[in-house]
Amino acid sequence: MLNESLSGYRLKILKHHDEYPAVADLLYPDERDSRLLQDRISELAAGLRLNIPHINVSLITGLHDLPRDQRRVLELPLLKKAVEQWAERNKIDKSQLTIQWQPSGKPQARVSDGPLDISLAHDNRYCIVAAASCPLGCDLAPVTHRTLQQWSGLLGSFGKNLIAGQAAGYGLDRRGTALWAAREVLQKLNVKETLSIKFENPTDDSILFICTTDKGVIKIITFWTVLTRGRERVLALS
């Protein structure tokens, strides 16, 4: 039997809040995080009259640093799960589900009635998968601190006017990260040229970007969220 003695250990009783994660959520956060993100996306999409994709998020620490082949071994079950759930929600036969990667690196799914668009993004802690019946791109990025000069250099001409004059600090970092995530979404949609970008309906926790591109006008919703583990992140979806 192993006995352990703690010296000077102090406990604090916290007030219960229904929205706080339970112990099981802290250990296995995927279900809670996916549910909260799906609810938030559905709320935003309905208000802005956008298509509502199905999403799943999974905590996989270190995924970002793995070689491509090892990464795909872990990603494949996540892709299948998201597509199966999308099919169930839309009452579509999922028995003939197939997933493969295109030469571009973008995953592609097929169900019994034809192709289904899927998109995948990850950082060093989380992986998110989105599925929809329309062209789709997604990105997930932790809010990162940079100076205005650094953000301008990173973003280049893309959205530079949307951060011009912003004071350095939290607000600049949130908007800069949102623009970065939106640009990543456009790349996943094979956009070669962005002619203009503006935003509509900005709130304290979301921005809708309207991008005029060589593929036409693309709307990208971005919002900030804190998942069960880790710091604030931006989620971007087209």
- What per-residue confidence (pLDDT) applies to 6? 66
Rounded to whole angstroms, the Cα distance separating 190 from 12 reads 51
Q: Where does the pLDDT of residue 16 fall: very low under 50, low under 70, confident under 90, or very high at 90 and above?
A: low
Give the mean model confidence (pLDDT) for residues 78-100: 88
Q: Left (φ > 0), alpha (ψ -120 to 50) or beta: where does 217 sit?
A: beta
Nearest to 219 by CA among 117, 130, 149, 134: 134
The share of the chain scoring above pLDDT 70, in percent, equals 89
The share of the chain scoring above pLDDT 90, in percent, equals 53
Nearest to 209 by CA among 233, 176, 166, 169: 176
Residue pLDDT, tens place only, 119-130: 999 988 999 999
- What per-residue confidence (pLDDT) applies to 58? 94
DSSP one-letter string for 58-103 = EE-TTGGGS-HHHHHHHHHHHHHHHHHHHHHHTT---TT-EEEE-T
- What per-residue confidence (pLDDT) applies to 21? 66
Least confident of 7-21, 25-39, 85-99, 164-178: 7-21
pLDDT of 118 higher than 90 = yes
Give the mean model confidence (pLDDT) for residues 40-48: 86
Give 36 or 48, the one with higher predicted confidence.
36
Give the mean model confidence (pLDDT) for residues 6-31: 66
Nearest to 188 by CA among 123, 236, 124, 127: 236
The per-residue pLDDT of the chain, averaged, comes to 87
- What per-residue confidence (pLDDT) applies to 29? 83
pLDDT of 17 higher than 60 = no
Q: Where does the pLDDT of residue 7 fall: very low under 50, low under 70, confident under 90, or very high at 90 and above?
A: confident
Rounded to whole angstroms, the Cα distance separating 223 from 41 reads 9
Q: Where does the pLDDT of residue 159 fall: very low under 50, low under 70, confident under 90, or very high at 90 and above?
A: confident
Give the mean model confidence (pLDDT) for residues 144-170: 87
